[in-house]
Amino acid sequence: MPDFERGARSVKQNRSRNALTRRDFIRLGAGAAATGATAKVTLLEPRAFRAATRAVPPSDTLRFASIGTGVRGCEDLKTALSCPGTEMVAVCDLYDGRLTAAQEVARKQLATTKDYRAVLDRKDVDFVIVATPDHWHAKIVEDACAAGKDVYCEKPMSHTVEEGFAMAGAAEKYNRIVQVGSQRRSGIVFAKAREIYASGALGQVTAIEAWIDRNDASGAWVYPVPPDASEQTIDWNRFLGSAPKRPFDAKRFFRWRCFRDYGEGLPGDLYVHLLTGILTITGVNAPPERALSTGGVFRWKDGRDAPDLIWTFYEYPDFRVAVRCNLNNESPADVTRIFGTKATLEVKGETLTVVPQNTRPQPEGYSIFGWPEKLRNEYLKEWRAQHPDPAPGNYSVVEEAQTFQAPPGYEDQIDHMNNFLESVRTRRPSAEDAVFGNHTAIACHMANYSYFNKAVAVWDEAAKQIK
């Protein structure tokens, strides 16, 4: 069902406690009530600076290297190359197959290495893209900043709370542009949602819910292991890095998200996107005050320690947030809902819908049924006298569901990468700097802390730690 239809239906469902009165008819408008189609659909304009719209002089070309060129690293380098004025010069990965894959995506022979420090030593590298598993982000980002490179670092920014602050500190100390790769931060749908939220059109917002669900092996990170995976083709010891030492295990290498040693499970994989969207819309740039999680490994019992269902309740000062990810059911897949006293805003994929609440004055319709009929009738008569219907000819539609949609083919990651490149060129702060990236990462760490410790995670702002 198209979103505008769903929006219109919600308006009507919200008022099911009262029969459709003449007043309701006025609100919806005669045509709307007859057809059920009240939503106005607006196509959002892509940003002006999008790829291929602007030529960059050769002297402004930015040269980059990718560190970590698995699934996301290859997507990121492709995105960077699709932006005007970029050139890729080197690639670093720990698996031979990925060094090959990166060059295939770049359509060019590149300098290759399994030691990222060799990339950082190159004078012709302006910035690096870091798309390794999460447990390597901090060390590489800090070393890159110290080497004078700007950094596009994939989300979640950090593997631990302490790392996040060290990364933000390195960006500041070496005066580097560090942008975290949560692309919702630059997306036009979330920018529109932010505008609507800031206008006050939603009224007072006290509750937010969001989820991303999946129901297949790939969604549960059960990725196939390439047939040539071995200690000859993979630098296993370097992969372990600061993680506990253990014998070669190709499943851990390719399915690292399942294990806390290398990733943050569902919070690091997916909460971070939901939280980036929520903080972008609401304008909050801080960790939550408290978090409480529940969940478990119910279905994908393959030795993983990361849960396949997790549900977390967050406390932010002005509102509460319920976030969940479920790898055991998908219906529907990716939703953020913001509940205000005047309207509900929903982002579902690339579609944003705002459905007004019924806020006009109404006579009491519930408790007066406990009154004697005479008093009840007098109350209703007086109420109607104080709230007369508009004169004929003055009826108007005062509330309407609205839908905004990104154009077909729109990709927020292109806007996010373009924002990063603009920051590198202009030295203006990035769209998702290390401070913001750290705040969403802390929220992910709090969700995991609560899940694994079976306790409420409390953010201690003074000590900069979870207690």
Q: Which one, 82 or 294, has the nearer CB to ligand NAD?
A: 82
DSSP symbols for 55-103:
---GGGPEEEEEE--SHHHHHHHHHHHHSTTEEEEEEE-SBHHHHHHHH
Pairing state between β 62-67 and 127-130 = parallel
Closest approach of Cβ 180 to ligand NAD, in Å?
9
Closest approach of Cβ 217 to ligand NAD, in Å?
15
In the complex, residue closest to ligand NAD by CB? 70
Cis bond leading into 156, ω under 30°? yes
From 32, 39, 51, 67, residue interacting with ligand NAD (rule: CB under 6 A)? 67
Query: Is the distance from CB of 103 to CB of 113 less than 8 angstroms?
Result: no
Position 133 contacts ligand NAD (CB under 6 A): yes
Q: Which one, 73 or 295, has the nearer CB to ligand NAD?
A: 73
Q: Which one, 139 or 192, has the nearer CB to ligand NAD?
A: 139
Per-residue CA distances from 2 to 8, 179, 200, 355, 401 (Å): 10, 35, 26, 14, 13
Q: Which one, 192 or 252, has the nearer CB to ligand NAD?
A: 252
- The C-alpha angle 332, 337, 340, rounded to 5 degrees, equals 155
Position 325 contacts ligand NAD (CB under 6 A): no
Kindly write out the interface string for residues 266-305 of this chain, putting x where it contacts ligand NAD by CB under 6 A and - elsewhere: ---x------------------------------------
- Which window, 31-39, 71-79, 386-394, 454-462, contacts ligand NAD (CB under 6 A)? 71-79
Cis bond leading into 224, ω under 30°? no
> What are the start-end ranges of the H helices in 255-298?
265-266, 272-282
- Which window, 41-49, 129-137, 199-207, 340-348, contacts ligand NAD (CB under 6 A)? 129-137
3-state SS assignment for residue 299: coil
3-state SS assignment for residue 172: helix
Q: Which one, 133 or 288, has the nearer CB to ligand NAD?
A: 133
Closest approach of Cβ 68 to ligand NAD, in Å?
3
- Which window, 28-36, 52-60, 125-133, 340-348, contacts ligand NAD (CB under 6 A)? 125-133
Amino acid of residue 363: P
Write out the E strands in 214-366: 290-296, 309-315, 320-326, 334-340, 343-348, 351-356
Q: Return d(Cα 208, Cα 185) in angstroms, integer.
A: 18
Q: Which one, 71 or 397, has the nearer CB to ligand NAD?
A: 71
User: Binders of ligand NAD among 336-355, rule CB under 6 A?
Assistant: none
Position 68 contacts ligand NAD (CB under 6 A): yes
Q: Which one, 27 or 135, has the nearer CB to ligand NAD?
A: 135
Give the DSSP letter of residue 389.
P
User: Binders of ligand NAD among 134-153, rule CB under 6 A?
Assistant: 134, 136
Handedness of CA 200, 202, 205, 211 (dihedral sign): negative
From 3, 26, 73, 128, residue interacting with ligand NAD (rule: CB under 6 A)? 73
Give the DSSP letter of residue 160.
S
- Which window, 133-141, 335-343, 400-408, 426-434, contacts ligand NAD (CB under 6 A)? 133-141
Closest approach of Cβ 449 to ligand NAD, in Å?
19
- Which window, 56-64, 69-77, 316-324, 335-343, contacts ligand NAD (CB under 6 A)? 69-77
Q: Which one, 269 or 308, has the nearer CB to ligand NAD?
A: 269
From 30, 71, 146, 198, residue interacting with ligand NAD (rule: CB under 6 A)? 71
- Which window, 32-40, 68-76, 120-128, 343-351, contacts ligand NAD (CB under 6 A)? 68-76
Position 447 contacts ligand NAD (CB under 6 A): no
Helix axis angle for 188-199 and 412-426, nearest 10°, is: 80
Q: Please compute Rg for the chain using Cα positions.
A: 26
Position 238 contacts ligand NAD (CB under 6 A): yes
User: Binders of ligand NAD among 76-115, rule CB under 6 A?
Assistant: 92-95, 98
205's enclosing H/E stretch is: strand 205-213
Closest approach of Cβ 307 to ligand NAD, in Å?
17
The tokens for 49 are 């600076």
Q: Which one, 181 or 295, has the nearer CB to ligand NAD?
A: 181
Per-residue CA distances from 6 to 12, 24, 42, 269, 419 (Å): 10, 18, 16, 29, 34
DSSP symbols for 425-447:
HH-PPPTT-HHHHHHHHHHHHHH
Residues that bind ligand NAD (CB under 6 A): 67-73, 92-95, 98, 116, 131-134, 136, 154-155, 181, 183, 238-239, 256, 269
